Amino acid sequence: MNTATTPASPFVSRAVERVVRGQAASDGDGVKLTRVLTQPLQKRLDPFLMLDAFGSDSASDYVGGFPDHPHRGFETVTIMLEGRMRHRDSVGNVGLLEPGSVQWMTAGRGIIHSEMPEQEEGRMAGFQLWVNLAAADKMTAPAYRDIAPDAVPAYTGAAGVRVRVIAGRSDGTAGAVTRPKTEPVVLDLTLPPGSTFDAELPAGHNAFAYVFGATPVAIGAAGATTVEPDRMAILANDAGGDGVRFAVPADAAEAARVLLVAGHPLGEPIAQYGPFVMNTTAELQRAVQDFKSGALAG
Ligand code: FE
Protein backbone atom coordinates (compact mmCIF):
# COMPACT_ATOMS: atom_id res chain seq x y z
CA MET A 1 0.00 0.00 0.00
CA ASN A 2 1.07 3.54 -0.68
CA THR A 3 0.72 5.03 2.76
CA ALA A 4 0.88 8.57 1.39
CA THR A 5 -2.54 8.10 -0.18
CA THR A 6 -4.10 5.80 2.38
CA PRO A 7 -6.30 7.63 4.86
CA ALA A 8 -5.83 7.03 8.56
CA SER A 9 -8.45 4.67 9.93
CA PRO A 10 -10.81 6.01 12.55
CA PHE A 11 -10.94 2.50 13.98
CA VAL A 12 -8.59 -0.13 15.35
CA SER A 13 -8.68 -2.75 12.61
CA ARG A 14 -8.99 -6.36 13.50
CA ALA A 15 -6.59 -8.82 11.92
CA VAL A 16 -7.51 -11.99 10.05
CA GLU A 17 -7.39 -14.87 12.49
CA ARG A 18 -8.04 -17.62 10.00
CA VAL A 19 -9.10 -18.06 6.37
CA VAL A 20 -11.74 -20.72 5.71
CA ARG A 21 -12.60 -22.35 2.43
CA GLY A 22 -16.17 -23.62 2.33
CA GLN A 23 -17.23 -27.21 1.74
CA ALA A 24 -19.18 -28.33 -1.29
CA ALA A 25 -22.63 -29.41 -0.12
CA SER A 26 -26.11 -30.14 -1.36
CA ASP A 27 -29.33 -29.17 0.37
CA GLY A 28 -33.05 -28.98 -0.34
CA ASP A 29 -33.85 -31.01 -3.47
CA GLY A 30 -30.26 -31.29 -4.70
CA VAL A 31 -29.28 -27.61 -4.72
CA LYS A 32 -25.51 -27.35 -5.00
CA LEU A 33 -23.95 -24.85 -2.65
CA THR A 34 -20.86 -24.08 -0.62
CA ARG A 35 -21.26 -24.34 3.15
CA VAL A 36 -18.88 -21.69 4.39
CA LEU A 37 -19.81 -21.49 8.06
CA THR A 38 -20.09 -25.07 9.26
CA GLN A 39 -21.12 -26.53 12.62
CA PRO A 40 -17.58 -26.67 14.07
CA LEU A 41 -17.42 -22.86 13.71
CA GLN A 42 -20.73 -22.13 15.45
CA LYS A 43 -19.15 -21.49 18.82
CA ARG A 44 -16.37 -19.30 17.43
CA LEU A 45 -18.79 -17.25 15.34
CA ASP A 46 -21.68 -17.19 17.84
CA PRO A 47 -24.44 -15.96 17.15
CA PHE A 48 -24.06 -17.16 13.53
CA LEU A 49 -24.93 -20.77 12.85
CA MET A 50 -24.45 -21.19 9.13
CA LEU A 51 -23.46 -19.37 5.95
CA ASP A 52 -24.19 -20.96 2.59
CA ALA A 53 -23.01 -19.39 -0.66
CA PHE A 54 -24.76 -20.47 -3.83
CA GLY A 55 -23.96 -19.47 -7.36
CA SER A 56 -24.43 -21.35 -10.60
CA ASP A 57 -25.24 -20.76 -14.25
CA SER A 58 -26.46 -24.32 -14.55
CA ALA A 59 -30.15 -24.88 -13.83
CA SER A 60 -29.50 -28.48 -12.79
CA ASP A 61 -27.59 -27.10 -9.77
CA TYR A 62 -30.61 -25.23 -8.40
CA VAL A 63 -33.84 -26.14 -10.16
CA GLY A 64 -34.94 -28.57 -7.43
CA GLY A 65 -35.09 -25.70 -4.97
CA PHE A 66 -35.94 -26.08 -1.31
CA PRO A 67 -39.36 -27.76 -1.00
CA ASP A 68 -41.37 -27.51 2.24
CA HIS A 69 -39.18 -27.88 5.32
CA PRO A 70 -39.41 -26.71 8.94
CA HIS A 71 -37.27 -24.44 11.10
CA ARG A 72 -37.31 -23.64 14.80
CA GLY A 73 -35.16 -21.58 17.13
CA PHE A 74 -33.30 -19.09 14.93
CA GLU A 75 -33.52 -16.65 12.01
CA THR A 76 -32.70 -17.19 8.35
CA VAL A 77 -31.43 -14.37 6.15
CA THR A 78 -31.47 -14.88 2.40
CA ILE A 79 -29.48 -12.40 0.33
CA MET A 80 -30.21 -12.68 -3.38
CA LEU A 81 -27.57 -11.49 -5.82
CA GLU A 82 -28.88 -12.97 -9.06
CA GLY A 83 -31.93 -15.00 -10.00
CA ARG A 84 -35.42 -15.33 -8.57
CA MET A 85 -36.85 -17.55 -5.86
CA ARG A 86 -40.43 -17.83 -4.60
CA HIS A 87 -41.00 -18.12 -0.85
CA ARG A 88 -44.16 -19.61 0.67
CA ASP A 89 -44.67 -20.45 4.33
CA SER A 90 -47.08 -21.91 6.85
CA VAL A 91 -47.85 -18.46 8.25
CA GLY A 92 -49.35 -17.51 4.87
CA ASN A 93 -46.54 -15.33 3.56
CA VAL A 94 -45.68 -15.41 -0.13
CA GLY A 95 -42.78 -13.43 -1.49
CA LEU A 96 -40.54 -13.18 -4.52
CA LEU A 97 -36.83 -12.95 -3.88
CA GLU A 98 -35.28 -11.04 -6.75
CA PRO A 99 -31.75 -9.77 -7.41
CA GLY A 100 -30.69 -7.38 -4.65
CA SER A 101 -33.50 -8.32 -2.28
CA VAL A 102 -33.18 -9.69 1.21
CA GLN A 103 -35.52 -11.94 3.16
CA TRP A 104 -35.28 -11.94 6.95
CA MET A 105 -37.29 -14.74 8.51
CA THR A 106 -37.58 -15.34 12.23
CA ALA A 107 -38.51 -19.01 12.56
CA GLY A 108 -39.11 -18.69 16.30
CA ARG A 109 -41.29 -21.54 17.59
CA GLY A 110 -41.80 -22.86 14.11
CA ILE A 111 -42.37 -22.25 10.45
CA ILE A 112 -42.58 -24.51 7.43
CA HIS A 113 -41.54 -22.92 4.17
CA SER A 114 -40.39 -23.53 0.64
CA GLU A 115 -37.95 -21.56 -1.47
CA MET A 116 -38.33 -22.52 -5.12
CA PRO A 117 -36.55 -21.09 -8.16
CA GLU A 118 -38.78 -18.99 -10.37
CA GLN A 119 -36.60 -19.58 -13.42
CA GLU A 120 -35.51 -22.57 -15.45
CA GLU A 121 -32.31 -21.11 -16.84
CA GLY A 122 -29.82 -18.37 -16.13
CA ARG A 123 -27.72 -17.61 -13.11
CA MET A 124 -28.83 -18.03 -9.51
CA ALA A 125 -26.54 -16.62 -6.81
CA GLY A 126 -26.73 -15.45 -3.24
CA PHE A 127 -26.27 -16.32 0.39
CA GLN A 128 -28.18 -17.79 3.26
CA LEU A 129 -27.09 -16.83 6.76
CA TRP A 130 -28.51 -18.31 9.95
CA VAL A 131 -28.59 -16.10 13.04
CA ASN A 132 -29.31 -17.69 16.39
CA LEU A 133 -32.02 -16.53 18.77
CA ALA A 134 -31.42 -16.18 22.49
CA ALA A 135 -32.93 -18.98 24.59
CA ALA A 136 -35.68 -16.63 25.78
CA ASP A 137 -36.67 -15.86 22.17
CA LYS A 138 -36.49 -19.28 20.54
CA MET A 139 -40.22 -19.93 20.96
CA THR A 140 -41.31 -16.47 19.83
CA ALA A 141 -43.97 -16.13 17.11
CA PRO A 142 -42.57 -16.57 13.59
CA ALA A 143 -42.08 -13.44 11.51
CA TYR A 144 -41.06 -12.70 7.96
CA ARG A 145 -39.89 -9.64 6.04
CA ASP A 146 -39.19 -9.27 2.35
CA ILE A 147 -36.93 -6.32 1.70
CA ALA A 148 -37.03 -5.08 -1.88
CA PRO A 149 -33.72 -4.09 -3.51
CA ASP A 150 -34.43 -0.37 -3.27
CA ALA A 151 -35.49 -0.71 0.37
CA VAL A 152 -32.01 -1.83 1.44
CA PRO A 153 -30.33 1.39 2.65
CA ALA A 154 -27.16 2.09 0.70
CA TYR A 155 -24.57 4.80 0.33
CA THR A 156 -21.39 5.46 -1.57
CA GLY A 157 -18.44 6.27 0.65
CA ALA A 158 -14.97 7.59 -0.03
CA ALA A 159 -13.16 6.08 -3.02
CA GLY A 160 -16.47 5.03 -4.52
CA VAL A 161 -17.10 2.18 -2.12
CA ARG A 162 -20.74 1.10 -2.30
CA VAL A 163 -22.21 -0.03 1.02
CA ARG A 164 -25.56 -1.81 1.27
CA VAL A 165 -26.58 -1.86 4.92
CA ILE A 166 -28.68 -5.00 5.30
CA ALA A 167 -28.54 -5.03 9.10
CA GLY A 168 -27.06 -2.89 11.84
CA ARG A 169 -25.46 0.42 11.02
CA SER A 170 -22.61 1.75 8.92
CA ASP A 171 -21.20 5.27 9.11
CA GLY A 172 -24.49 6.73 10.32
CA THR A 173 -26.71 4.81 7.90
CA ALA A 174 -29.19 2.53 9.65
CA GLY A 175 -29.72 -0.82 8.02
CA ALA A 176 -32.92 -2.45 6.83
CA VAL A 177 -33.01 -4.69 9.89
CA THR A 178 -32.19 -4.13 13.54
CA ARG A 179 -32.31 -7.05 15.95
CA PRO A 180 -32.00 -7.11 19.71
CA LYS A 181 -29.44 -9.19 21.62
CA THR A 182 -27.47 -10.43 18.62
CA GLU A 183 -27.26 -6.87 17.18
CA PRO A 184 -26.20 -8.17 13.78
CA VAL A 185 -24.24 -6.05 11.31
CA VAL A 186 -24.54 -7.31 7.72
CA LEU A 187 -22.95 -5.21 4.98
CA ASP A 188 -22.74 -5.96 1.26
CA LEU A 189 -19.67 -4.10 -0.01
CA THR A 190 -18.54 -3.29 -3.54
CA LEU A 191 -14.98 -1.94 -3.46
CA PRO A 192 -13.47 -0.44 -6.63
CA PRO A 193 -9.85 -1.10 -7.62
CA GLY A 194 -7.46 0.95 -5.46
CA SER A 195 -10.07 1.66 -2.78
CA THR A 196 -9.74 1.39 0.97
CA PHE A 197 -12.71 1.03 3.29
CA ASP A 198 -12.83 1.11 7.07
CA ALA A 199 -15.91 -0.52 8.53
CA GLU A 200 -16.89 -0.01 12.14
CA LEU A 201 -17.51 -3.20 14.11
CA PRO A 202 -18.70 -3.14 17.70
CA ALA A 203 -15.87 -4.38 19.93
CA GLY A 204 -16.86 -7.75 21.35
CA HIS A 205 -18.89 -8.79 18.29
CA ASN A 206 -17.74 -11.92 16.55
CA ALA A 207 -17.11 -11.09 12.90
CA PHE A 208 -16.22 -12.55 9.54
CA ALA A 209 -15.83 -11.30 5.98
CA TYR A 210 -16.69 -13.44 2.97
CA VAL A 211 -14.92 -12.40 -0.23
CA PHE A 212 -16.82 -13.20 -3.42
CA GLY A 213 -16.70 -11.95 -6.99
CA ALA A 214 -13.33 -12.21 -8.74
CA THR A 215 -10.98 -9.84 -6.89
CA PRO A 216 -8.91 -10.60 -3.78
CA VAL A 217 -9.04 -8.18 -0.86
CA ALA A 218 -6.40 -7.25 1.73
CA ILE A 219 -8.05 -7.41 5.15
CA GLY A 220 -6.61 -5.82 8.28
CA ALA A 221 -4.34 -2.82 8.80
CA ALA A 222 -0.68 -3.52 9.55
CA GLY A 223 0.29 -6.88 8.05
CA ALA A 224 -2.97 -7.24 6.13
CA THR A 225 -3.91 -10.70 4.90
CA THR A 226 -4.84 -11.08 1.24
CA VAL A 227 -8.03 -13.10 1.04
CA GLU A 228 -8.92 -14.75 -2.27
CA PRO A 229 -12.48 -14.91 -3.61
CA ASP A 230 -14.76 -17.62 -2.20
CA ARG A 231 -13.01 -17.55 1.16
CA MET A 232 -14.22 -16.49 4.58
CA ALA A 233 -11.85 -14.54 6.81
CA ILE A 234 -12.59 -14.93 10.51
CA LEU A 235 -11.68 -11.61 12.13
CA ALA A 236 -9.76 -11.74 15.39
CA ASN A 237 -11.44 -10.44 18.53
CA ASP A 238 -8.51 -8.14 19.22
CA ALA A 239 -8.86 -6.11 22.40
CA GLY A 240 -10.23 -2.74 21.35
CA GLY A 241 -10.71 -3.93 17.77
CA ASP A 242 -13.64 -1.76 16.75
CA GLY A 243 -13.31 -1.95 12.98
CA VAL A 244 -11.78 -3.64 10.00
CA ARG A 245 -9.91 -2.28 6.99
CA PHE A 246 -10.37 -3.56 3.46
CA ALA A 247 -8.02 -2.59 0.62
CA VAL A 248 -8.28 -3.56 -3.03
CA PRO A 249 -5.23 -3.63 -5.32
CA ALA A 250 -5.10 -0.66 -7.70
CA ASP A 251 -4.48 -2.99 -10.64
CA ALA A 252 -7.52 -5.19 -9.98
CA ALA A 253 -9.57 -5.78 -13.12
CA GLU A 254 -12.88 -5.28 -11.36
CA ALA A 255 -14.39 -4.21 -8.07
CA ALA A 256 -14.06 -6.57 -5.13
CA ARG A 257 -17.12 -7.88 -3.31
CA VAL A 258 -17.31 -8.59 0.40
CA LEU A 259 -20.11 -9.71 2.69
CA LEU A 260 -19.19 -8.43 6.16
CA VAL A 261 -21.06 -10.02 9.06
CA ALA A 262 -20.76 -9.34 12.80
CA GLY A 263 -22.90 -10.08 15.83
CA HIS A 264 -22.98 -10.04 19.60
CA PRO A 265 -22.35 -13.55 20.94
CA LEU A 266 -25.13 -15.14 22.98
CA GLY A 267 -22.83 -17.42 24.99
CA GLU A 268 -25.52 -20.10 25.34
CA PRO A 269 -25.37 -23.83 24.57
CA ILE A 270 -26.06 -24.66 20.90
CA ALA A 271 -27.90 -27.89 20.03
CA GLN A 272 -28.66 -28.47 16.35
CA TYR A 273 -30.56 -31.21 14.59
CA GLY A 274 -30.84 -30.25 10.92
CA PRO A 275 -33.28 -27.31 10.65
CA PHE A 276 -33.83 -27.01 14.41
CA VAL A 277 -31.40 -25.10 16.63
CA MET A 278 -32.16 -25.10 20.34
CA ASN A 279 -30.17 -25.16 23.58
CA THR A 280 -30.67 -28.78 24.68
CA THR A 281 -31.23 -32.23 23.19
CA ALA A 282 -34.60 -32.43 24.94
CA GLU A 283 -35.70 -29.28 23.13
CA LEU A 284 -34.61 -30.79 19.82
CA GLN A 285 -36.63 -33.93 20.53
CA ARG A 286 -39.61 -31.73 21.26
CA ALA A 287 -39.10 -29.89 17.96
CA VAL A 288 -39.08 -33.19 16.03
CA GLN A 289 -42.23 -34.35 17.87
CA ASP A 290 -43.99 -31.06 17.21
CA PHE A 291 -43.07 -31.24 13.52
CA LYS A 292 -44.37 -34.82 13.24
CA SER A 293 -47.59 -33.99 15.07
CA GLY A 294 -48.21 -30.83 13.08
CA ALA A 295 -47.86 -28.61 16.15
CA LEU A 296 -44.65 -26.91 15.03
CA ALA A 297 -46.22 -24.43 12.66
CA GLY A 298 -49.47 -22.56 12.54
FE1 FE B 1 -35.32 -22.88 4.99
Residues of the chain with pLDDT under 50: 1-4
Judged on CB neighbours under 10 Å (0-12, 13-18, 19+), 135 is middle
Q: What is the CATH number of domain 18-151+268-298?
A: 2.60.120.10
Q: How far apart are CA 134 and CA 75, in angstroms?
A: 11
65 within 8 A of 29, measured Cβ to Cβ:
yes
Could you tell me the distance, in angstroms and rounded to a whole number, from the CA of residue 98 to the centre of ligand 1? Answer: 17
Cα(62) to ligand 1 centroid in Å equals 14
**How far is the centre of ligand 1, averaged over its atoms, from the C-alpha of 114 (Å)?**
7
The neighbour count for residue 203, using CB atoms within 10 Å, is 15
Hey, do 18-151+268-298 and 153-266 end up sharing a CATH topology, with the first three levels equal? yes
Domains of the chain: which residue ranges?
18-151+268-298, 153-266
Cα 145 to ligand 1 centre (Å): 14
The pLDDT of residue 158: 87
Q: For residue 190, report the distance from its CA to the centre of ligand 1, in Å.
A: 27
pTM: 0.96
What is the Cα 135 distance to its own chain's centre? 21
Ligand 1 centroid to residue 297 C-alpha, Å: 13
At 69, which amino acid appears? Answer: H
Q: Which residues of 85-114 are buried (b: 16+ CB within 10 A; e: fewer)?
A: bebebbbebebebeebbbbbbbbbbbbbbb
Determine the straight-line distance between the first and last CA of the chain, rounded to whole angstroms.
56
**pLDDT tens digits, one per residue of 124-166:** 999 999 999 999 999 999 999 999 999 999 999 989 999 999 9
Calculate how far, in angstroms, residue 130's C-alpha sits from the geometric centre of ligand 1. Answer: 10
- C-beta separation of 70 from 76 below 8 A: no
Which CATH number fits the domain 153-266, given the four candidates 3.40.50.970, 3.40.50.300, 2.60.120.10, 3.20.20.100?
Answer: 2.60.120.10
**CA 115 / ligand 1 centre spacing (Å):** 7
Rounded to the nearest angstrom, the distance between the alpha carbon of 211 and the centre of ligand 1 is 24
H helix or E strand, kind and range, residue 207? strand 206-212
Q: What is the pLDDT at residue 223?
A: 83
Ligand 1 centroid – CA 69 distance (Å): 6
> Please, is 247 exposed, middle or buried when counting C-beta atoms within 10 Å of its C-beta (0-12, 13-18, 19+)?
buried
**Interval between CA 251 and ligand 1 midpoint (Å):** 40
Distance 43 CA to ligand 1 centre (A): 21
Per-residue model confidence (pLDDT) at position 238: 87
